[in-house]
Amino acid sequence: MDSTKLTVAMIDTAVSRGLKDMENGPKRTIRNLADMGKRFSTGNFQQALFEVFQKLLQNEESPYYDLIQYVLLHTDHENLKKFGINMGYYSWTHYAKVIRANSKKEGRILPWKEDFIYCTDDQPNASTSLANIRKRIADVRKEGINTFSITLTGQSTPLNDLFSIFEDFDESAFLLFLGDTQITVAQQGMLKKCGNVLLCINAASNDAVSTCEALTSSGNLYSIYYNYVDQDIVLLKERSFYEKLKAFPSCMLILIPANESVMSAGPIVKEIRLEQKSPYFIWDFPYDNNLISSIICK
């Protein structure tokens, strides 16, 4: 067994042991998992992430304890481990070394993930075919990019076509933004079996609440996402903003600007995370992705 596979096996075993201890003391177990994450961290971003997380968990009243416990109780543990290892170890540590080396050679910050739009409908923004996505993933993985977001557009987009990509790139992490595409019970099971996919549900879609309820019941790993406008940014620290989202049984929230002219909510989102006042794990998609890239490339 090579050193990478050995490290992954050790992480998997340690996390599995930690999850079994949840019944005895959830807060202590969560702190132990954070400490373990720090020990296994060799990448710049992963080390910085766990250092901040350890500090936040020193607060016994931190909402992150409840959020983490919710995720652990309602998400299939194999799904959670698989996605966590693929993003946390492979993307942020193992492949990040390649990105960092290339960044030094080129003298600029390089991206750590790649974004795709996929739709078989004849739409102008459907810029990539399935074959192009597959080829591009294979190419950029050689450059150290191992995490990919795929946004589906149109209700007729055949989600099943993507399963072969998730399976073939088994060590990669995927964020799948469903848009208005509906997901069946069978597809939920297939995605959970793949394990390396975080489903992202549009909070504005008509069946978003029922979809989230079904995903919670089935143990799928998922998040909701919200396309914000300038008026939303000033409300992010107000409880009223989250009231309209409380119908969703999710503890993860991805914020995405509605268009390119919208101001970035990133700095405020960063403050909210550190102040520990949000009822969600909250992420400003473009801002935080750029932040991760800048830390990886240090």
So what's the pLDDT on residue 240? Answer: 85
Confidence band for 208, pLDDT divided at 50, 70 and 90: very high
Higher pLDDT, 4 or 108: 108
CATH number of the domain residue 153 falls in: 3.20.20
Q: 145, 112 in Cβ contact below 8 A?
A: yes
pTM for this model (two decimals): 0.91
Contact 255, 280 (CB under 8 A): no
Task: For helices 26-40 and 44-56, give the axis angle rounded to 10 degrees.
Answer: 160
Name the domain count of the chain: 1
CA 293/CA 89 separation, integer angstroms: 15
Residue 126: C-alpha distances to residues 259, 272, 278, 286 (Å)? 17, 34, 35, 20
Write the secondary structure of 121-133 as one string of H (helix), E (strand) and C (coil): CCCCCCCECHHHH
Q: Which domain holds residue 235?
A: 3-296
**CA 197 and chain centroid, separation:** 8
Extract the runs of DSSP E, i.e. beta strands, from the chain: 113-118, 147-152, 173-177, 197-202, 222-228, 252-257, 281-284
Q: What does DSSP assign to residue 161?
A: G
CA dihedral of 186, 131, 92, 76, whole degrees rounded to 10:
0
Per-residue pLDDT of 70-93, as tens digits, reads: 888 899 999 999 999 999 889 998
Instruction: Find all residues with CB under 8 Å of 202, minimum gap 6, and list them.
Output: 177, 178, 179, 180, 208, 224, 225, 227
Tell me what the pLDDT averaged over the chain comes to: 87
